[in-house]
Amino acid sequence: MFTTSVAATPVQPSAGRLRPLGLDEVRITGGFWAQRQQTNATATLPHIAHWLEREGWIGNYDLAAAGGLSEGRRGREFSDSEIYKFLEAAAWEHGRRPDPALEAKFREFVTRVAAAQEPDGYLGTAFGRPGQQPRWSDLASGHELYCLGHLFQAAVARERTAPGADDGLLDIARRAADLVCEVFGEGGIESVCGHAEIEVGLAELGRATGEQRYIDQASLFIDRRGHKTLPEPEWGRSYFHDDLPIRDATVLGGHAVLANYLAAGAVDVAVETADDELLTALMVQWDNTVARRTYITGGQGSHFQDEAFGEDWELPPDRAYAETCASIASIMFSWRLLLATGGPRYADLIERTLFNASTIASLASLLATVDDNGLQLHQYATSTITTALPDGTPIGLDVETTYPEEGAVTIRVRETAPRPWTLSLRVPAWANGATLTHQTTAGQQRVSTASGPVAGVTATFAAGDTVTLNLPMTPQFIHAVPRIDAVRGCVAVHRGPVVYCAEQPADNSASLDQLVVDTGVAPSCSDGRLLVEASWRQRTNSPWAYHPAANDEVPSATDPLALIPYHDWGQSGLCTMRVWLPTD
């Protein structure tokens, strides 16, 4: 346990094992993620703002303010949430590196949103105005509370990266949250939103504002869910997690994004209310979901039809829905459990998911935490860290690495105090044979094996000391447990946290569906390329696909085949790809 101080970070629990650091304390300064954050800032966010305008989704607020909404409204019922997601991303980006143009767009959108808020605090462009369905009349599908959850997250991001800004977003959020507490509090509407999100939004807004009743309302929503207060949807109550109470579930199911949002909000409630039973249930759900319902990329949610988790082991790669939103939501869930418990396995999944399934603007806040004993590094990126331990010990670190290109991560102590503390470094589960080297300015060097899941150096550090973690980056074949039917007889290849894939040969000399990989020859790196030995089956043109005789299609002689990181798929144009490579 520790006392919190306000930081520019998405999750600020009042209790838990680890304290998160804010964007003001951790800055990514180079390497893999710096490039992607630059792309996000200069290309992705302006692109999104342009399309929110072009699609009319921000325009809906103007129509609402002008009283002409019901006829002219554009977009789906949840389009408001896209505005708030943009505002949240822009706020975190502001915390990372302020930009006048983005700040101007942020303020413009907030002003337009504000004009549409009704006197009693209601905010939403899809319900409640003349010609529209009444407010709260379609909790199952209407997304009204869902959208507000995203509004609250945007307001929290803004408050934590630009405290005291006079844009009014926090006030908008508070007035909307007050209305939600009034309408859905004790004695109010005894139901929940079909699309979970308000819970995690309310909880963090409560933390950011100190309003206990927002956390209480999140707790009420968590407890109400699973009691069948919503009409049954086409795909069954599990779709929106109204089939059984959260504390009775043993694994995530139903809509994969919403399941993770809900679980994240439930962790917040469990931490704020010291509800160990609920926290334990969520840890079990995380364990089983990761063991049985997660792709090798960290992706979650197999089903296209209902965007849902499938059954245990139902993880078909050729129809993996695995949407990016689910990856982001999964990181939200994992991060909260990491802060609550300190378990490095949560950071392992975050890393896998980051490198293979998603990117986010507030990324730096996932890199490090502190506790009474010292500082924990969970993710490795070239960065600077400037913070303090709870007792006031100042800590300044410079992290240098080309990870995941290479496996060396060097942490140089820039600032500290003459007292011992522990620098803890996560050793990923795949990193068999990692080593740790502590080099002092006095010339002492100590090398130790880093067997994981966490390797620590406890010392009275001096400025100039370095700690180097060496992670083995040998590429490996990976086998799935036999219960995953869809990838039987196949292997995947990873190198460090990065999952690789084979792309369709550009010259179409062979088709990926003829590929066979020789697992007798280990994958290797050569001239920056990752190679496996591959042959290609000759295709026979059978009029029927099922025969008494086993396959007798003759493979060609093997040749080296270059694989590429899965996250780089399609860089040279649309093409077929496979992560799981047949071996027979």
Chain positions contacting a copy of itself, by CB under 8 A: 287, 290-292, 294, 296, 302-305, 310-319, 345, 429-430, 432, 476-490, 492, 513-514, 537, 539-551, 553, 580, 582, 584
Residue 89, Cα to own-chain centre: how many angstroms? 13
CB of 62 to a copy of itself, least distance (A): 27
Greatest Cα pair distance, the chain, in angstroms, is: 78
- Residue placing its CB nearer to a copy of itself in the complex, 395 or 487: 487
CB of 474 to a copy of itself, least distance (A): 10
CB of 480 to a copy of itself, least distance (A): 6
The conformational region for residue 430 under phi > 0 = left, psi -120 to 50 = alpha, else beta, is alpha
Bond prior to 404 in cis (omega within 30° of 0): yes
Q: Taking a C-beta distance cutoff of 8 angstroms, is the pair 353, 327 a contact? A: yes
CA distance 519 to 475: 12
CB of 348 to a copy of itself, least distance (A): 8
- Residue placing its CB nearer to a copy of itself in the complex, 127 or 313: 313
- Residue placing its CB nearer to a copy of itself in the complex, 93 or 351: 351
CA distance 349 to 333: 11
Dihedral sign from CA coordinates of 358, 359, 365, 370: positive
CA distance 536 to 514: 5
Any bridge partners for residue 383, and if so which?
28, 399
Give the helix/strand (H/E) hosting 33: helix 32-39
Written as six digits, the tokens of 556 are 């060609």
CB of 294 to a copy of itself, least distance (A): 7
Instruction: Measure Cα distances from 530 to 255, 408, 577, 578 in Å.
Output: 36, 19, 16, 15
The residue written with tokens 């979901």 in the block is: 289
521-551 core/surface letters (b: 16 or more CB in 10 A; e: else):
eebeeeeeebbbbbbbbeeeeeeeeeeeeee
- Residue placing its CB nearer to a copy of itself in the complex, 163 or 433: 433
- Residue placing its CB nearer to a copy of itself in the complex, 290 or 434: 290
Q: Taking a C-beta distance cutoff of 8 angstroms, is the pair 339, 330 a contact? A: no
CB of 254 to a copy of itself, least distance (A): 15
- Residue placing its CB nearer to a copy of itself in the complex, 247 or 303: 303
- Residue placing its CB nearer to a copy of itself in the complex, 316 or 342: 316
CB of 349 to a copy of itself, least distance (A): 9
- Residue placing its CB nearer to a copy of itself in the complex, 490 or 534: 490
CB of 511 to a copy of itself, least distance (A): 9
DSSP category for residue 231: P
**Is residue 181 classed as helix, strand or coil in its secondary structure?**
helix
58-96 core/surface letters (b: 16 or more CB in 10 A; e: else):
bbbbbbbeeeebeeebebebbbbbbbbbbbbbbbbbbbb
- Residue placing its CB nearer to a copy of itself in the complex, 160 or 537: 537
CA distance 409 to 425: 10
The residue written with tokens 């309302």 in the block is: 217
Instruction: Give phi and psi for 546, each to the nearest 5.
Output: -130, 125
CB of 391 to a copy of itself, least distance (A): 35
CB of 539 to a copy of itself, least distance (A): 8
Task: Determine the residue type at 132.
Answer: Q
- Residue placing its CB nearer to a copy of itself in the complex, 120 or 485: 485
- Residue placing its CB nearer to a copy of itself in the complex, 248 or 318: 318
- Residue placing its CB nearer to a copy of itself in the complex, 481 or 557: 481
Q: Taking a C-beta distance cutoff of 8 angstroms, is the pair 364, 96 a contact? A: yes
CB of 304 to a copy of itself, least distance (A): 4
Residue 163, Cα to own-chain centre: how many angstroms? 25
CB of 406 to a copy of itself, least distance (A): 20
Q: Taking a C-beta distance cutoff of 8 angstroms, is the pair 366, 378 a contact? A: yes
Q: Which residues contact 502 (CB under 8 A, 6 or more apart)?
A: 512, 515, 534, 561, 563, 577, 578, 581
Q: Taking a C-beta distance cutoff of 8 angstroms, is the pair 128, 116 a contact? A: no
CB of 82 to a copy of itself, least distance (A): 18
- Residue placing its CB nearer to a copy of itself in the complex, 77 or 199: 77
- Residue placing its CB nearer to a copy of itself in the complex, 86 or 295: 295
CB of 230 to a copy of itself, least distance (A): 21
The residue written with tokens 């929290």 in the block is: 156
CA distance 57 to 44: 17
CB of 386 to a copy of itself, least distance (A): 35
- Residue placing its CB nearer to a copy of itself in the complex, 370 or 480: 480
Any bridge partners for residue 537, and if so which?
555
Q: Taking a C-beta distance cutoff of 8 angstroms, is the pair 534, 515 a contact? A: yes
